[in-house]
Amino acid sequence: MQKPPLHHTVNHALQHHYQTLRTVHMRELFAADPERFEHFSLQVGDILLDYSKNRITAETLQLLTQLAEVADVAGWRDRMFQGDKINNTEQRAVLHTALRNQSNTPVRVDGEDVMPDVNAVIAQMSAFAERVRSGTWTGHTGKAIVDVVNIGIGGSDLGPHMVYQALKTYRHSRLEMHYVSNVDGAHIKEKLETLDPETTLFIVASKTFTTQETMTNAAYARDWFLQHAGDAAHIAKHFVAVSTNREAVTDFGIDPDNMFGFWDWVGGRYSLWSAIGLSIVLAVGADNFRRLLGGAHEMDTHFREAPFERNMPVILALLGVWYSNFFGAATQAILPYDHYLRSLPLYLQQADMESNGKSVDRDGHNVDYETGPIIWGTSGINGQHAFYQLIHQGTRLIPADFIISATQPNGLHEQHDILMANFLAQTEALMHGRSLEETISGGVSEPHAPKVFAGNHPSNALLLDALTPHSLGMLIALYEHKIFVQGIIWNLNSFDQWGVELGKQLAKRIQPELNMTEAVTSHDASTNGLINHYRQRRHA
Ligand code: F6P
């Protein structure tokens, strides 16, 4: 059995290198190399990554690249792309890349090329979307669809929802998408109150078609619809399903002809490229969906072909490992300076934390090093007025990704310059800080000490030429591959999620207990106490 990469000798060299670099200020690194931006930035398609404001030298990257090599990132990457069952606990291939394989070269799972099926579902989605968008597909009273409600949770919600927000300027003018995920009845109830059943289409999006939250909301929506429409035959015009589970879809009462399939080799959090993206296709059209896939494919190709030292996902991953495993950073902030990308941090929370939030490695051993970071963040400009204080002057090291587009579609150029100026100012301030001398000589009033900024806080700047379907596809795939590379370095299976199962099982056991007449005593004292407290007050 191979040693985990972080037990390899290159780790000792990195530890040693860390000791020499940990007290070095980035100011010194910039002063020593006037071309630091040229040396530590990279353009791929329409994305520029400036990673010069990191606590690294050329030697750091060289050593980190060696770490990627001993981890066999290239081998695992190739095994993923060619359809090997690298999700070892579920014995599944991991092929979200096949969903955007615009080269259409065969990709085989168990000897079968999956591309014909992939292309068939894209064609089915495109044809359906065209009918809805053109108004040829109507509700049961003959009216065109106006509102589409995607009922799903986790990967069946976060990806399409984030992309729908991001591509707002590409949307069809008549159609509005809505995303209902929470089983808290307030979510679906409030949403349905605003909708007309005659012109509403529901997409029940669930890979398994067993997820309690989704199935409860879907049943509620079906009841709501039938209260208005009366005849169950009308369901066919108003409910479609996206799932791998044909039987459960049929049992629910959705016509299998109105089902869009995908496969067990698409992980939930990697599924927006599959039929789970149906709401995206409806909103922005099949051509733009293909552009989204095309952007992801461009990033896939870059990831497969570029040497590690010029490979954007690999560089982002290695920087993350550098801060997690050597500097002890526990979190990674995602800060989009783009209103349309405001849900990206939420999306990446699932993508990253459900993938690499693990403490048992691929070989079943407990790890003795840190793995996936806590991903957090919000729209950057709002964050400045909320939590940036702690990033600038707190005691913790918080690596941050700043994301912005060079052009904005709304024509409000002054606003965009303000946004950009703040984006630049924050990364500069984080890196450079302000010394006591600068504080005093800058005429800052006393007291001076609280107004000193240590600086030396790392950040990446990601600059998109514009937020388009193509660049968005590239950006999402960039993070997917970053997560993949980190998972390999930490020797994890990034594609299962057993950590969410226990809570689901316990909830199933607890739910009937909430209706018991006698006091519940079968749990620990805290859980018993809470259950019994709730039972006395429920429905008050
Ligand atoms: O949270 C666990 C999870 O299995 C996610 O991985 C998944 O995206 C989500 O639940 C929804 O699952 P489904 O699409 O099967 O309803």
pLDDT tens for 312-361 read: 999 999 999 999 999 999 999 999 999 999 999 999 999 999 999 999 99
* d(CA 26, ligand 1 centre) in Å: 42
- Give the CB-side neighbour count of residue 466, counting CA atoms within 13 A: 11
Among 140, 165, 258, 167, smallest CA distance to 205 is for: 258
Banded model confidence at residue 410, pLDDT cuts 50, 70, 90: confident
Q: Is the per-residue pLDDT at 399 higher than 70?
A: yes
Measure Cα distances from 219 to 184, 185, 215, 242 in Å. Answer: 14, 12, 6, 15
Banded model confidence at residue 3, pLDDT cuts 50, 70, 90: confident
Q: Is the per-residue pLDDT at 469 higher than 80?
A: yes
Q: CA 462 to CA 454: how far, in whole Å?
A: 24
ipTM of the complex: 0.97
Nearest CA to ligand 1 atom 16: 206
Q: How many CB atoms lie within 10 A of CB 505?
A: 9
In the chain, the percentage of residues whose pLDDT exceeds 70 is: 99
Q: CA 325 to CA 358: how far, in whole Å?
A: 15
Q: What is the CA radius of gyration of the chain?
A: 25
What is the model's pLDDT at position 169?
97
Output the ligand 1 site: residues, CB below 6 A: 153-156, 206-208, 211, 214, 268-269, 354, 497, 500
Please state, rounded to an integer, the average pLDDT across all residues of the chain: 97
* d(CA 156, ligand 1 centre) in Å: 7
In the chain, the percentage of residues whose pLDDT exceeds 90 is: 98
Average of pLDDT values for 504-509?
A: 95
Q: Is the per-residue pLDDT at 85 higher than 80?
A: yes
Atom of ligand 1 nearest to the CA of 268: 8
Atom of ligand 1 nearest to the CA of 156: 14
Average of pLDDT values for 514-535?
A: 96
What is the model's pLDDT at position 540?
62
Q: Are 350 and 158 in contact (CB under 8 A)?
A: yes
21: enclosing H helix or E strand: helix 9-21
Nearest CA to ligand 1 atom 3: 154
What is the model's pLDDT at position 190?
97
Q: How many CB atoms lie within 10 A of CB 192?
A: 18
Pocket test for ligand 1, best of 497, 502, 505 (most atoms within 8 A of CB): 497
* d(CA 465, ligand 1 centre) in Å: 33
What is the model's pLDDT at position 538?
86
Atom of ligand 1 nearest to the CA of 205: 14
Burial class of residue 429 in the structure, from the number of CB atoms within 10 Å of its CB (0-12 exposed, 13-18 middle, 19+ buried):
middle
Atom of ligand 1 nearest to the CA of 152: 16
Q: CA 523 to CA 211: how far, in whole Å?
A: 24
Average of pLDDT values for 485-491?
A: 98
Nearest CA to ligand 1 atom 9: 154
Pocket test for ligand 1, best of 162, 179, 211, 502 (most atoms within 8 A of CB): 211
Banded model confidence at residue 489, pLDDT cuts 50, 70, 90: very high
Q: Which amino acid is at 249?
A: V
Q: pLDDT per residue over 457-467, tens digit each?
A: 999 999 999 99
Measure Cα distances from 16 to 10, 19, 21, 257, 458 in Å. Answer: 10, 5, 9, 61, 20
* d(CA 223, ligand 1 centre) in Å: 24
* d(CA 268, ligand 1 centre) in Å: 6
* d(CA 164, ligand 1 centre) in Å: 19
- DSSP-assigned letter for residue 198: G
Nearest CA to ligand 1 atom 4: 268
Among 73, 29, 144, smallest CA distance to 494 is for: 73
What is the model's pLDDT at position 248?
96
Banded model confidence at residue 1, pLDDT cuts 50, 70, 90: low
Atom of ligand 1 nearest to the CA of 271: 8
Atom of ligand 1 nearest to the CA of 354: 6
- Among 307-316, 404-413, 435-444, the minimum mean pLDDT is found in 404-413
Which residues in 377-503 belong to E strands, given as ranges?
Answer: 400-407, 459-466
Nearest CA to ligand 1 atom 6: 268
Which residues in 52-193 belong to E strands, given as ranges?
Answer: 108-109, 112-113, 147-151, 176-180
Q: CA 35 to CA 311: how far, in whole Å?
A: 20
Banded model confidence at residue 408, pLDDT cuts 50, 70, 90: confident
What is the model's pLDDT at position 59?
98
Q: pLDDT per residue over 135-178, tens digit each?
A: 999 999 999 999 999 999 999 999 999 999 999 999 999 999 99
Question: What is the token pair recorded at 368?
Answer: 């003795």
Nearest CA to ligand 1 atom 10: 154
Q: pLDDT per residue over 104-134, tens digit each?
A: 999 999 999 999 999 999 999 999 999 999 9
Q: Is the per-residue pLDDT at 300 higher than 80?
A: yes
Q: CA 188 to CA 232: how far, in whole Å?
A: 21
Q: CA 65 to CA 314: how far, in whole Å?
A: 8
Q: Are 306 and 488 in contact (CB under 8 A)?
A: no
Q: pLDDT per residue over 172-221, tens digit each?
A: 999 999 999 999 999 999 999 999 999 999 999 999 999 999 999 999 99
* d(CA 211, ligand 1 centre) in Å: 7
What is the model's pLDDT at position 411?
84
* d(CA 337, ligand 1 centre) in Å: 29
Please identify every residue annotated as catalytic.
354, 385, 504
Q: Is the per-residue pLDDT at 303 higher than 90?
A: yes
> What are the two backbone dihedrals, phi and then psi, of residue 162, each rounded to the nearest 5 degrees?
-60, -45
Nearest CA to ligand 1 atom 2: 500
Q: pLDDT per residue over 58-72, tens digit each?
A: 999 999 999 999 999
Q: pLDDT per residue over 9-48, tens digit each?
A: 999 999 999 999 999 999 999 999 999 999 999 999 999 9
